[in-house]
Structures are given as structure tokens and as C-alpha cells.
Structure 1
Amino acid sequence: MEYADVVVIGGGQSGLAAAGTLRRHGIEPVILEASARPAGSWPRYYDSLTLFSPARFSALPNAPFDGRGDRYPSRDDVVDYLTGHAVRLGVEIRTGTRVEAVERDGAAFTVRTADGRSIAASGVVAATGAFGNPVRPVLPGQERFTGELLHVADYRSPKNYAGKRVVVVGGGNSAVQVGYELAEVADVTLASRSAIRFLRQVRDGKDIHHWLTGTGFDHLPPEWLVHFVGGTLVLDAGRYQDALASGTLERRPMFTALDGDAVVWADGTREPVDAVLLATGYRPDLGYLRGLGALGPDGSPLHSGGISTTHPGLVYLGLEFQRSFASNTLRGVAADADHVIPPLAAHVRKAPAAVGL
């Protein structure tokens, strides 16, 4: 068995932020990344995805995006950015290495990988995000639905939907962005349980993120968000609202069931559709911690601000609303790393010498 002070599980933005902060605390981590390159889930997002925040507000500390700061980086821009950052960081990153389980072994952890290897470590950073665990609600009648039913995690581009009737389930940013691009080639309806609420992207000539970061809103505790926001908001420079107003993109209350080749709308109308696309979000992808006893019954991590409440030496990064509105974003994850890494580093320095050999 080999040894590492800290194993970081996940080589995307959260794992890289963790690794950089660990090095500043004098600890050399080992990053284990399941995919072929250190870019996390970004290479698997849909082709047209762009960040909802400009480049100047979307980077890790001391690692700005190349090019204009007011542009909105694409999926591929982010992949290139993270891959280049990983090279500059100079930490050990093992790609193509999927973690199957984390176990407790006395005072240390044992991290077991899909290729049969084991690594003992004093500390573990769970930084695998949520893309690998999409929420797929069970819809009434879906077992008899003859159309295509997929999650946005499996969607790449509108090219296969030209001329088709498509229903996108959801009312968040991804639902609206994907629905809007599909509407250029298909007949599209957004189905959501409540009306879509928009937040104006540009105010007084500046992107909303200028105000979010300048006012400190990005770092408000999650409980404050309920008071200020009250629900999901979709960032929009105007085109999405215009599409809804013009009828190019339609929104209807959530349908009640699927029935053969059709959806059944709330008013009882039965309408044939070719595809139903679920933009219904994600949950933390932490199945490798289940046997450790670090998760609740619903698979959610038991933590306080990203620090495990069940296992000293285990911390999390990249959880939605982990500590703030921006916790699972490029611009926000480093602040959370600054919160969880110091106590982890202190734990590692006090750990039994046998683990560090």
C-alpha cells in the first residue's frame, strides 16, 4: 500500500483549488481524477454552455482567464483554463483513476480505486461535485413513454432535435439556456412548477457579478439567500424573456403525467411529444463515502461548512451552497478552500507518523 498525506478526490475546479491551498500550507496532495484530464465534469457539459459570469469574475485566485475580462467563457474555454492551471500548479494528478470507496483504517483513511489500488492518507478532500449524480425524478407514466427521456447531463447539442416537439422540465439557468437553443430548431416548451424568475444580467453597463462581488453578496451564508432571493433566479440579458414574450419559447405549468407518446398537461390536454429533457439538477456525487458512514440517509454529506461532522480529516469542496451563494463556482470555491484546508492541515500534522512514512 502507498501513502499520501492528503488524497484529493476529483481533479476539477474544486480539487485544484484544494491542492493549491494545501501546498500553501506545506502539504503535497495526490489528486485522483476519474476522467482523462484534470478538468472535472466540464468536458461532459453540453456544447453551447457558457459561464453565467464574465471571465474576470470566474477565475481561481492568481490565475486569471486569458483574453477580455468581460467575455463569458465557453465550456471549452473552461476546460483549457483548468487543464493549463493544473500544469502550472505542478501537483501529482492521476487521471483515469476512479475512487470506489473510502474506508477508515484506525486514525487514517484507505482510499480504494477501481483499478484495485489502495492509498492510505491522513486526510481526504471530497471534491467530486455533482454532475455524476443527476436528479432524475420518476414521472407518472414514464415506464410507458415511447419518446426520448433524458437528463440535461446527457444532452450535447440541438442537432438531433430539428423539427421535433420537445418539453424541457425545469425553470433554472440550464433549463432556459438549453430550451432557448433548442427553440431555434424545434418546437419547445419549458415545463416548470412555478413561473420563471429572471435577474437582469447587466445593470448600469456592468454585469450583475460586479455588484455581487462588490457588495459581498457572493459570500453571504446560504440561510440569507432565502431571505434575499426566495427561489431560483435565471440570469438574462433580455433574450430569454424576449423569446418567451414572442412565443419563440413557451412556458407552461408542469405536466401531470407521461402517456405513451404524449405528455398530459395540467388542464387534461394530451399532446404527443418526441422528447422530454430533464433539467432537474444534481445531488452531490459522493457514493464512495457511503460505506464510511459520512453521508445521511439521502446521500447528502454530514458537514458544517464543508468540514465533516463524522470523520476528522475529511472535508468537502464544491457543494452547492456549502458556505455561500458562490460555493460551487469557479469564483467561489477558493474561499471555501481557505475555510476547510487549515483545519485539515492541522489534523494531518498531528496524524500518526505511520501514515506519512
Structure 2
Amino acid sequence: MTTPSEPVVIVGGGQSGLAAARAALSAGLRPVVLEAGAAPVGSWPDYYDSLTLFSPARYSSLPGMAFDGGDPDRYPTRDEVVAYLHRYSTSIDAEIRTGTRVTAVHARPRGGYLVHTDSGDEIAAAGIVAASGSFGNPYLPVLPGRHNYAGEVRHVAHYRRPEPYAGKRLLVVGAGNSAIQVAYELASQARVTLAARAPIQFMPQRIRGRDLHHWLRVTGADLLPRSVLTRLVRHAAVLDTGVYRDAIASGLLARREMFTAFTADGVRWADGTEEAVDAVIFATGYRPNLGYLAALGALERDGLPRHAGGVSTTHPQLVYLGLEFQRSFSSNTLRGVGRDATRVLTALALPGGLRRRPRPTPRGSVRP
């Protein structure tokens, strides 16, 4: 059986894992965070250099620590987010182990779990929080001819800056914020076409002098579940001050219907014409990074978790955090993941869930 000394193991030390650790402490549980990377900042250092948040600083913080250090209406840069998460991790009274990749989780016959790591360690856990995030498993669609194409193919997760593409012919695949932001940046150095299955939909970044996220908060739209939101917004929309719409209208950014196949030196468009291109960058989203739960039987065949609002429907004392639309529009964002963390960690600490820790733990530290 589980004992009070056994921790709740949180897999992932990015924004979701850190929010989970704080919520676990508030619920009287003892968290141990296992982060595969060198620092408890998730995948943020790996994003492209020019990335900024789509929400202002005042709407982009985790529970208990404001995103300070400047104009609250600025859009924080990638590096600002990394620094913020570093500060946040040091404020949490929990053990955080970096450089520790979880390889598998197994259920124990008499309750609880055994967590296996890439260093060969086995950690007994009273419960599991799968907080490895929505951005660690880039999705690349399978298209005919891909293996015969001689050019470069990469996901936007592996794109950094535009200079290496100067003077080249590029396609950026996607219709979301990252696709437009990267394509616009590349257009200063290269000839770029956006390839998407449908026309780009835009949403104003500012309405009546205020950022959209102000209105999401005051109207409660940020809390809407997918089932409601999809009835109100039919297509994914790109936040825009007008710059991106003008770039497409002016021809700076061309837009075409998605190509159907790769050729040896380019692509074949839907009308049958072929075009040579030097590189194709896919901004086609991510899938949950939950392979370590496969042997447990907690996932669907496509790798998605079986859950209701972040609580596993297959195993007790197993919860998820940071999934897209886990409970609401903002579930996998800095501003929203804390609400979900409180919910799922409270569920773990309810009677019949995990035992509460008998006394506060000493202040932990981030250690390799």
C-alpha cells in the first residue's frame, strides 16, 4: 500500500509541472518534480528566437507570482518567460530533479506507482501528475513523396531564426499564430508562401483600446470548454494588429491551398502544378508527450490520454496537466494552467485519494 512518505511524482518541470508542484503543496501533498531538461523551464528555451507571448505580461503569470519587470502590457519574449520560470521554480518548496527523463510508469499491485527513469532509478509514488506538456512532441503530417524530397523539412519547433534562409524559396505550412509569425519573419529574408487547407482567419489583437485577453478575462471566455467555444469560433484564428493581414493582402506573403505531395525538388500543388522549393517548415501543432504511460494502458491508440477534465478514467491517482483544452480555452497556457492544477491536485488529495503529508517538507532545491 502507499504510505505518507511516498511523494506525488510530477513528470515535467515546465509551466505545467511547476504549477502542479505549487498546487500539490497547497493540497498538503509532497511533490517531486522530474524534468528531463537541464533546467525547470520546459520547452521554452527551444522555441524560435523572436517568439513573444500572444498575451500581455499582466495576463501571463502562474499562481502566486506576477510576471513583473516591465510594462505589464508588453508581450514577453521567449527569454523573459525562461527567466520567469527559473524564478518561479526557486519559489516553490518542493524537490525538483533536472536531467531526469521518465521512461515508464507501472502500477504496483497493492496501490501506487513505480516510476522508471533513464538513469535506471525507480521511484515509488503515491500518485502521478503527467505534466510533460503539449509542446514536446511536434506533429509532422505524412505526405506522399516526403522521403524523395531533396530539400529541408522541419517542424517549427526546430526553427530558430531567418538568416540561414536568406534568398531561398520557402513554404510554411499552417494557419495558426506560429505559422504566420514565422512566415512573416522569414519574408524579410526569403520568398515565402503560406500553405494551408483553408483561408487564414484573423482576430484583432486589440478591441476598443484593450488587448483581447482583457476581454477574454472579463467575459469569462477564457474559461469556456471546447464544446462551447467551437460553437462560437468556427476556425482557429491568428491574433493580428493588422500587420499580418496587410502582408497577405500586399503579396508580401503569398497564400495557397495546401500542396498534395512532395516532388524530388519541391511540391505538387492541388491544381497539379509543381514548384521547386528549398525548404518546408511545418507549423502543424503538437501531440501530448506521454509515451512513458503507454505500458500502463492509460492512453488511446493515437497516444492521447483517457481522461475527464484532467483526471484519468483508467487509473486511480493519475492526473494530467497542460493538455490543450483540458478544461478550457486557456488550459495549456501560462495564464490558465494554474486553475487546472488546483483542480486536479485537489482531486488527488480528497478522501479516498492520497494521504496528506504529516508536516511541511524542508525547502527543496533544483538539483541535477
- Normalised-by-shorter TM-score class: over 0.9
Query: Is residue 330 of structure 1 aligned with residue 322 of structure 2?
Result: no
* 1:4 CA drift (Å): 3.1
**Greater shift after overlay, 132-141 or 190-199?**
132-141
Query: Is residue 305 of structure 1 aligned with residue 298 of structure 2?
Result: no
Residue 156 of structure 1 aligns to which amino acid in structure 2? Answer: R
Counterparts of 2:208 and 2:356 in 1: how far apart (Å)? 52
Which of 68, 72, 93 aligns to 1:69? It is 72
* 1:132 CA drift (Å): 2.2
* 2:6 alignment partner in structure 1: 4
- Please say if residues 5 and 348 of structure 1, whose CA atoms lie closer than 8 Å, have aligned partners that are also in contact: no
Counterparts of 1:222 and 1:280 in 2: how far apart (Å)? 19
- Please say if residues 28 and 356 of structure 2, whose CA atoms lie closer than 8 Å, have aligned partners that are also in contact: no
* 1:133 CA drift (Å): 1.1
- Please say if residues 48 and 75 of structure 1, whose CA atoms lie closer than 8 Å, have aligned partners that are also in contact: yes
* Residue-by-residue CA offset, 1:268-309 (whole Å, 9 max, x unaligned): 221110000111110100000000000011100000000000
Question: What SS class does the counterpart of residue 105 from structure 2 fall into?
Answer: strand
Question: What SS class does the counterpart of residue 301 from structure 1 fall into?
Answer: coil
- Please say if residues 265 and 278 of structure 2, whose CA atoms lie closer than 8 Å, have aligned partners that are also in contact: yes
Q: How do 1:48-59 residues align onto structure 2 when only pairs under 5 Å count?
A: 48-59=50-61
Counterparts of 1:128 and 1:39 in 2: how far apart (Å)? 11
* 1:121 CA drift (Å): 0.7
Question: What SS class does the counterpart of residue 323 from structure 1 fall into?
Answer: coil
Residue 334 of structure 2 aligns to which amino acid in structure 1? Answer: L
Question: What SS class does the counterpart of residue 30 from structure 1 fall into?
Answer: strand
* 2:89 alignment partner in structure 1: 86
* 1:354 alignment partner in structure 2: none
* 1:104 alignment partner in structure 2: 107
Counterparts of 1:131 and 1:326 in 2: how far apart (Å)? 14
* 1:143 CA drift (Å): 1.2
Counterparts of 2:273 and 2:259 in 1: how far apart (Å)? 9
Which of 349, 352, 355 aligns to 1:349? It is 355
* 1:191 alignment partner in structure 2: 195
Query: Is residue 283 of structure 1 aligned with residue 280 of structure 2?
Result: no
* 1:89 CA drift (Å): 1.3
Counterparts of 2:41 and 2:139 in 1: how far apart (Å)? 22
Counterparts of 2:200 and 2:342 in 1: how far apart (Å)? 35
* 1:241 alignment partner in structure 2: 245
Question: What SS class does the counterpart of residue 99 from structure 2 fall into?
Answer: coil
Counterparts of 2:155 and 2:170 in 1: how far apart (Å)? 13
Counterparts of 2:324 and 2:93 in 1: how far apart (Å)? 27
* 1:142 alignment partner in structure 2: 146
Residue 348 of structure 1 aligns to which amino acid in structure 2? Answer: L
- Please say if residues 4 and 30 of structure 1, whose CA atoms lie closer than 8 Å, have aligned partners that are also in contact: no
* 1:164 alignment partner in structure 2: 168
Counterparts of 1:100 and 1:314 in 2: how far apart (Å)? 16
* Residue-by-residue CA offset, 1:301-355 (whole Å, 9 max, x unaligned): 000000000001000000000000000000000111121111112211189xxxx
* 1:131 CA drift (Å): 2.2
How many aligned residue pairs are there?
350
* 1:42 alignment partner in structure 2: 44
Question: What SS class does the counterpart of residue 252 from structure 1 fall into?
Answer: strand
Counterparts of 2:59 and 2:324 in 1: how far apart (Å)? 18
Question: What SS class does the counterpart of residue 4 from structure 1 fall into?
Answer: coil
* 2:364 alignment partner in structure 1: none
Counterparts of 1:129 and 1:260 in 2: how far apart (Å)? 36
Query: Is residue 201 of structure 1 aligned with residue 199 of structure 2?
Result: no
Counterparts of 1:26 and 1:265 in 2: how far apart (Å)? 57
Query: Is residue 216 of structure 1 aligned with residue 220 of structure 2?
Result: yes
Which of 323, 327, 332 aligns to 1:319? It is 323
Which of 272, 277, 281 aligns to 1:273? It is 277
- Greater per-residue helix proportion: 1
Percent of pairs with identical residues: 60
Counterparts of 1:97 and 1:60 in 2: how far apart (Å)? 23
Counterparts of 2:91 and 2:341 in 1: how far apart (Å)? 18
Residue 296 of structure 1 aligns to which amino acid in structure 2? Answer: E
What is the TM-score with the length of structure 1 in the denominator? 0.96
Counterparts of 1:158 and 1:255 in 2: how far apart (Å)? 23
- Please say if residues 170 and 191 of structure 2, whose CA atoms lie closer than 8 Å, have aligned partners that are also in contact: yes
Counterparts of 1:339 and 1:137 in 2: how far apart (Å)? 34
Residue 252 of structure 2 aligns to which amino acid in structure 1? Answer: T
* 1:130 CA drift (Å): 2.5
Unpaired runs of at least 5, structure 1: 352-357
